[in-house]
Structure 1
Amino acid sequence: MTQSLTTVVFDIGNVLVAWDPRHLYRRYFSGREDEMEWFLKNVCTPAWNVEQDRGRSFSEAVELLVKEHPPEWHPMIRAFDQEWHETISGPIDGSVAILKKLKASGVPVYAITNWNQDKFREALQRFDFLNSFDGIVVSGDEGLLKPEREIFDIFFKRYGVVPESAVFIDDSKHNVEGARAAGMHALHFTSPEALARDLRGLGFSV
C-alpha cells in the first residue's frame, strides 16, 4: 500500500446506497415522467431538499411547501417525508463488498455524508453495514454540507485523521474537489468496478 495512504473515507448516498427521489415518485406519477420531473424541479426541489441535509427538520420543510403549493400537490409533498424510505432502492452491492474487504483487511474506514440527521438514523436501522464505520460525520448533525471546508476539518479533528493519509470517495465532483482542497486524496465514484480498480492502484487490497 502507498505508505502515505492508510484510511478510506466514503460518501454514502449513491456510493453505498442508491438514493433518488424518483424511486418514490414513479409510483405517484406512473407513466407520467414529464410531470414527475416538473414536480422535482419546481416543488420538491434539490435546493429545498439540501436544507434538510443541513439539518432542517422534514416536518418544517414539508409545511413550508404545503403553504406554497395548491392542495393537489400536498400528498406528494408529504410523501417526501412519510415515505422517504422509498427514495433508497437498496444497497450498491459492489461498493458494500469493497467496504467489507477494507474492514476485513484492517483498513480504517469512515464516512462523511450529506444526509438529514433523522433520516440517517432510519438508514442505520435499515442497512446494518452502515454501522461498521470507525466514525461518521453527518451533515445534518453539524449544520454543514460538503464541499464546505469546515465539515472536513470537523472530521479530521474528531477522528484524528491526517488529511494526506486518507482517500475520500464521492459521486459528486464538487465534493471530490472539496476533499482535495482539504488535503485528501479523492476519487470520483462512477461504479464499484472502477472504484475497486482505483483503490487497488493505490495499494489497497479490494
Structure 2
Amino acid sequence: MIRAVVFDIGNVLIEWQPERFYDATIGEARRKQMFAQVDLHGMNDLVDTGHDFRQTIYDWAEKYPEWRDEIRMWHDHWLDLATPAIPHSVRLLRALRAKGVPVFALTNFGIGTWQIATPVYEFLNEFDRPYVSGHMGVIKPNARIYEMVEQDCGLPPESLLFTDDRAENIEAARNRGWQGHLFDGPQGWAECLVSKGLLTAGEAA
C-alpha cells in the first residue's frame, strides 16, 4: 500500500532547461562551446549540496574569465533557467493532497535557489514534507539521501512512490525498495497514479 507520493521538482513540476536559456541568450553555438569547456552542471551540484549560491557561481566564473558574464547569469537570471511550471503536474500534486495522500518533495535544490523559488512557485510550499538536498548536504542519486527520507518520515520504503525524470535517481530509490516511476511527462505520471488507485481518471486529468 502506498502511504506517500514523492515528487522530484526539476523537469517534473518546474521545467529546468539551462541550455534553453543560454541558447536564447547567447546563441546555440556559443552555448555549446561554453558547456563543452565549463562543467556548469557540476557547479550546480555544489549549490545543490548546500554551498552558497552566489559565491559558488561567482567563484566558478572567475575560473573561466572568457565566460565570466555568462556563468554569472546562472545566478543573476536563475529564475529564467527554472521556468515555467508544469501545470498538469501541479494539478496532480494538489489532487493527491485533496484526497489526503501525503505528498513529499525529494529534490536536488540549493538553499539559496529554494529561497528564490518558493515565493514564486506557491505549490512548492504545499508539500507535507519537503526534502531539499541543499539542507540535507547530499544529492540524488546518493543512497544516503533516500535513507534520510526514510528515517525522517518513518514510512517503509515499499510504501513510497517516487517520480523523477532521471533514471539513475529512480534506480537508486528502487534499490532501497521504493516504488518508482520515470517521469517522461505529466500524462504518464497521471496514468501511473490512476493505476495505483491513488486518483481517479477524472481527478488525474
The aligned amino acid for 1:28 is T
> Normalization by structure 1: what TM-score?
0.91
- Structure 2 residue runs of 5 or longer lacking an equivalent are none
CA RMSD of aligned residues (A): 1.4
1:171 aligns with 2:165: yes
Q: Report the Cα offset of residue 47 of structure 1.
A: 1.6
1:59-118 alpha-carbon deviations (Å, 9 max, x no partner): 332233233222x42211111111111101211011111111111111110011001111
Name the SS of the counterpart of 1:183 in structure 2.
Answer: coil
The aligned amino acid for 2:31 is M
Q: Report the Cα offset of residue 44 of structure 1.
A: 5.0
Which residue of the partner structure matches residue 7 of structure 2?
A: 10
Q: Distance in 2 between matches of 1:131 and 1:101?
A: 15
Name the SS of the counterpart of 2:83 in structure 1.
Answer: strand
User: 1:7 touches 1:166 (CA, 8 Å); kept in 2?
Assistant: yes
> Normalization by structure 2: what TM-score?
0.92
1:132-176 alpha-carbon deviations (Å, 9 max, x no partner): 110011111111011111111111111222211110000000000
Q: How many residues align?
A: 200
Which residue of the partner structure matches residue 75 of structure 2?
A: 81
Which residue of the partner structure matches residue 101 of structure 2?
A: 107
Runs of 4+ in 1 over 3 A off after TM superposition: none
Percent of aligned pairs with the same residue? 34
Q: Distance in 2 between matches of 1:91 and 1:165?
A: 27
Q: Distance in 1 between matches of 2:187 and 2:61?
A: 42
1:92 aligns with one of 86, 111, 120: 86
Q: Report the Cα offset of residue 58 of structure 1.
A: 2.3
Q: Distance in 2 between matches of 1:167 and 1:201?
A: 12
Which residue of the partner structure matches residue 51 of structure 1?
A: 46
- Structure 1 residue runs of 5 or longer lacking an equivalent are none
Q: Report the Cα offset of residue 190 of structure 1.
A: 0.3
